[in-house]
């Protein structure tokens, strides 16, 4: 599904990622853990194509395509989705409008028929219910005045509607209480399938109790320093990131 080879990335002239190799197969869920400043968010941005993240070496292949040649919206239409750590406010654009705009833009880019209002409404209602996203929330401008939990649920709702093939969850657990964490995790788990892969970026093992990964990678100072199974996350929870060169695991 995704193959990253010797990826080096600079931001503002500073090298943040210093040679990442990572392969995620279809249907697999990989967790990336690591201390602050290890390059976790950089990895999510470079995969999704944000400006200002310069790839100096290496390659990213997604379903055999060269991702680095694709624009942000092309990547999205091809099925790469990023659930933001800090979702952005879009004043005046209701969640419903935003969802419909995004879905139909992707469908159009893929040469599929756009959904009409009736079909779309049905789809949203069906996907919103298990995530406790109310009609009232769908009518509010996206992320404007949303609580931390509402923002994250809205992110997962977008993912459920856009049905990406490769989803990156960037610290989706941050700012969530335990109930919200459960709801969000259930939403994510419902999307797990043999054709869909996920990259779960997190600081804490807690999230991985709910979204159980196939593999765990430890990222430190721009490199993957250790890879293991889900038990690696538990080890980290006990010993912290100190042995991987970080001062603080906070």
Partner 1 sequence: MAAVKETVETVGEVEKYKYGFSTEIESEKAPIGLTEDTVRYISAKKDEPEWMLEWRLEAFRRWKNMKEPTWAKVFYPTMDYQNAYYYAAPKQTVAPESLDEVDPKLLETYEKLGIPLEEQKMLAGVAVDAVFDSVSVVTTFKEKLKEAGVIFCPISEAIRDYPELVKKYLGSVVPVTDNFFATLNSAVFSDGSFVYIPKGVRCPMELSTYFRINEKQTGQFERTLIVAEEGSYVSYLEGCTAPQRDENQLHAAVVELVAMDDAEIKYSTVQNWYPGDEEGKGGIYNFVTKRGDCRGRNSKISWTQVETGSAITWKYPSCILRGDNSRGEFYSIAISNTKQQVDSGTKMIHLGKNTSSRIVSKGISAGGSSNTYRGLVSVHKKAENVRNFTQCDSLLIGDKCSAHTVPYIEAKNPTAILEHEATTSKISDEQLFYCMQRGVPEEEAVALIVNGFCRDVLQQLPMEFAVEAQKLVGISLEGSVG
Q: Which stretch binds partner 1 (CB under 8 A): 10-18, 23-31, 70-78, 234-242?
A: 70-78
What tokens appear for 201 in the block? 């970026």
Q: What angle do CA 144, 165, 19 make, to 5 degrees?
A: 90
Query: Does the footprint of partner 1 cover residue 88 (CB under 8 A)?
Result: yes
Can you give the length of the chain in residues?
Answer: 250
The residue with tokens 């054709």 is: 195
Q: Which is nearer to partner 1, 90 or 225 (CB)?
A: 90
Sign of CA pseudo-dihedral 135, 192, 81, 231 = positive
Out of 139, 189, 227, 242, name the contact with partner 1 by CB under 8 A: 139
Q: Which is nearer to partner 1, 52 or 194 (CB)?
A: 52
What tokens appear for 56 in the block? 């100096």
Phi-psi region at 181: left, alpha or beta (left = phi > 0; alpha = psi -120 to 50) = alpha
User: What is residue 16's three-state secondary structure?
Assistant: strand
Give the number of other CB atoms < 10 A from CB of residue 75. Answer: 23
Q: Which is nearer to partner 1, 102 or 234 (CB)?
A: 102
Q: Output 244-248 pairs: Cβ under 8 A, ≥24 positions apart.
A: 244/34, 244/35, 244/218, 244/220, 245/220, 245/221, 246/34, 246/35, 246/36, 246/38, 246/220, 247/35, 248/35, 248/36
Q: How many residues sit in the footprint of partner 1 (CB under 8 A)?
A: 39
Least separation in angstroms between CB 135 and partner 1 = 12
Query: Phi, psi at residue 155, to the nearest 5°?
Result: -60, -45
Query: Does the footprint of partner 1 cover residue 57 (CB under 8 A)?
Result: no
Residues 25-54 binding partner 1 (CB under 8 A) are: 48-51
Q: Which is nearer to partner 1, 120 or 204 (CB)?
A: 120
Q: Which is nearer to partner 1, 98 or 204 (CB)?
A: 98
CB 107 within 8 A of CB 115: yes
Query: Does the footprint of partner 1 cover residue 98 (CB under 8 A)?
Result: yes
Q: Which stretch binds partner 1 (CB under 8 A): 24-32, 66-74, 207-215, 234-242?
A: 66-74
Out of 9, 24, 29, 77, name the contact with partner 1 by CB under 8 A: 77
Q: Which stretch binds partner 1 (CB under 8 A): 25-33, 81-89, 212-220, 233-241?
A: 81-89
Least separation in angstroms between CB 52 and partner 1 = 8
Positions touching partner 1 (CB under 8 A) are: 48-51, 71-73, 75-77, 81-82, 84, 87-94, 96-98, 100-106, 108-109, 114, 117, 139, 141, 158, 162
């Amino acid at each position: 599904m995704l193959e990253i080879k010797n990826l080096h990335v600079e931001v503002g002239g500073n090298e943040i990622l210093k040679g990442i190799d990572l392969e995620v197969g279809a249907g697999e869920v990989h967790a990336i853990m690591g201390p602050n400043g290890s390059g976790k968010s950089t990895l999510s941005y470079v995969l999704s194509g944000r400006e200002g993240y310069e790839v100096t070496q290496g390659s990213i292949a997604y379903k055999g395509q060269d991702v680095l040649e694709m624009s942000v919206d092309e990547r999205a239409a091809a099925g790469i989705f990023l659930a933001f750590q800090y979702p952005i406010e879009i004043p005046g654009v209701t969640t419903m409008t935003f969802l419909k705009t995004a879905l139909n833009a992707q469908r159009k880019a893929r040469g599929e028929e756009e959904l009409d209002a009736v079909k779309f409404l049905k789809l949203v209602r069906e996907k919103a219910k298990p995530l406790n996203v109310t009609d009232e929330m769908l009518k509010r401008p996206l992320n404007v005045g949303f609580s931390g939990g509402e923002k994250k649920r809205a992110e997962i709702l977008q993912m459920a509607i856009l049905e990406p093939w490769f989803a990156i969850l960037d610290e989706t657990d941050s700012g969530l209480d335990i109930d919200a964490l459960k709801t969000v995790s259930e939403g994510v788990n419902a999307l797990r399938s043999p054709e869909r892969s996920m990259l779960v970026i997190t600081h804490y093992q807690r999230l991985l109790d709910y979204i159980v990964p196939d593999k765990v990678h430890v990222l430190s100072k721009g490199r993957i320093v250790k890879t293991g199974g889900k038990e690696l996350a538990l080890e980290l929870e006990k010993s912290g990131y100190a042995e991987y060169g970080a001062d603080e695991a906070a």
